[in-house]
Amino acid sequence: MRFIRLACILATLLALMVGGCGGGGDSGAVGSASTPPPASSATINTYGNTNLPGRLITNSPQGAYAFELRTGQQVSLPKSTATNDPGRDRWEGTSMTGTTALRWYINVSLTGAAPVALVDSTSWQQKGTLDLKTEFRKPMLSPDGRYILSFWQDQSAGETAESERLTIFDVATGQPIKRGSRLDGVLMKGSPAAWLPDGRYVYTVRNKLYRSSPTSSASELIATLALPGSSPDEGVPLAWGNTLAVSPDGKKLALTWSEAARNSSTDTHIWVVNMDGTGLHRLTSAPDPQSALNYAFTSPTWSPDGQWVAGVLDMGGVAVAPVFPPDQAFPGVPGGIIGATGCGSSPVFVLPVNAENVPISWPAYDVNHGVKVRNPSGDGGRWVSACDSIAWIP
């Protein structure tokens, strides 16, 4: 009888321990925003032989996901209920805006207003909305949550893409409070602006870096970047510094820059520079210098600790590669084949901030710089790819 009682006590303690470590034992819907998928017994390193900090948001027409880079777990982010095409939702966030992410709708042909949702990035519950008049580029939330920076054309006033200006919106009212530069009439690609931790922002006009604030009518030239020359597109000069990302401490800038420096191909690379213009260096390099393809390294985003920069190699065409080579994180799991075109062809990569001219392999996934995560079922894993922008958040 004593042994039976002791066995019952041990069984009870074991059940309590499993329930405590497993979060209650009810796995819920796999990949839902509220409940993570069940953990696999296999260990996983999400980056080479180590793990990265924070979470990575990826966007695609199939939906957005948040990947926990410490464990490889993933959740599917909630889709908009304000539109009939939630596949065109896009999520934005940075390591500086803390617990708030933005979900917005990229169909700029909407009439009236385009909704922007403010979402708690811990619970993924919506906590506010903002209706911005079309047409605008991606919204960027200020670190204090008071403003949104975007590039906007006021269609009600007859503005077109050539009139698109840097614009600051007040989150409390949804109204524009500052219309900035047209970038001297230069046709823009992407969104060449980003917030600083102190509430000011930076933007580029070609290779010139400026700083201003929501309440100032003046802009300060802080650096002229020694970037290589770019080619005009059909005779129209472009603002080639088309995506900016500020490090969490505000001391460095990652940016994309397009250059016709390899045969007749125009590649887009990610560069890193100190905010005063010193220390400029290129992170990325085309994997094959003789290739006739155009390589586009896009969407730079900083890790929460400021030690890494992630990006997307935005490529089209056929991509055939193992999901995980058999000798990688999941021994015994056979290799798989990723899609022929589209999202699976554009891998996410991560590089240390001091890296220089690192070639990212393609179409085979780069096992040294790619990001690995678990499958939603918890069994096996895959490399991360993205059809659109990515965002690294705490």
What is the residue extent of each domain of the chain?
Answer: 30-393
Token digits of residue 389 = 């922008």
Where is mean pLDDT largest: 22-26, 109-113, 116-120, 237-241?
Answer: 116-120
Per-residue confidence band for 364, with pLDDT thresholds at 50, 70 and 90? confident
Q: What is the pLDDT of residues 290-300, one digit of tens each?
A: 887 888 899 99
pTM over 0.95: no
With a pLDDT cut of 90, the percent of the chain lying above it is 35
Per-residue confidence band for 182, with pLDDT thresholds at 50, 70 and 90? low
Per-residue confidence band for 272, with pLDDT thresholds at 50, 70 and 90? very high
* Segment 101-122 mean pLDDT: 74
Residue 315: closest CA among 222, 385, 213, 216: 385
Query: Looking up tokens 């509430």, which residue turns up?
Result: 199
Query: Looking up tokens 């935005």, which residue turns up?
Result: 314
Token digits of residue 209 = 């870096």
Read off the amino acid at residue 42.
A
CATH of region 30-393: 2.120.10.30
pLDDT for residue 15 is more than 70: no
Per-residue confidence band for 133, with pLDDT thresholds at 50, 70 and 90? low
Residue 200: closest CA among 276, 270, 146, 273: 146
Which of 177-191, 199-213, 241-255, 301-315 is least confident?
177-191
Considering only residues 340 and 366, tell me which one the structure prediction assigns the higher pLDDT.
Answer: 366
Where is mean pLDDT largest: 48-62, 253-267, 326-340?
Answer: 48-62
pLDDT at position 96:
79
Could you tell me which residues come within 8 angstroms of residue 194 by beta carbon, excluding any fewer than 6 positions away? 140, 149, 201, 202, 203, 244, 245, 246, 253
pLDDT at position 292:
77
Token digits of residue 176 = 């524009």
pLDDT for residue 13 is more than 70: no
- Measure the N-to-C terminal CA separation of the chain; round to a whole number of Å: 53
Residue 257: closest CA among 232, 279, 230: 230
Residue 167 pairs with which residues in a beta bridge?
150, 179
Residue 239 pairs with which residues in a beta bridge?
188
Where is mean pLDDT largest: 30-34, 98-102, 366-370?
Answer: 366-370
pLDDT for residue 34 is more than 60: no
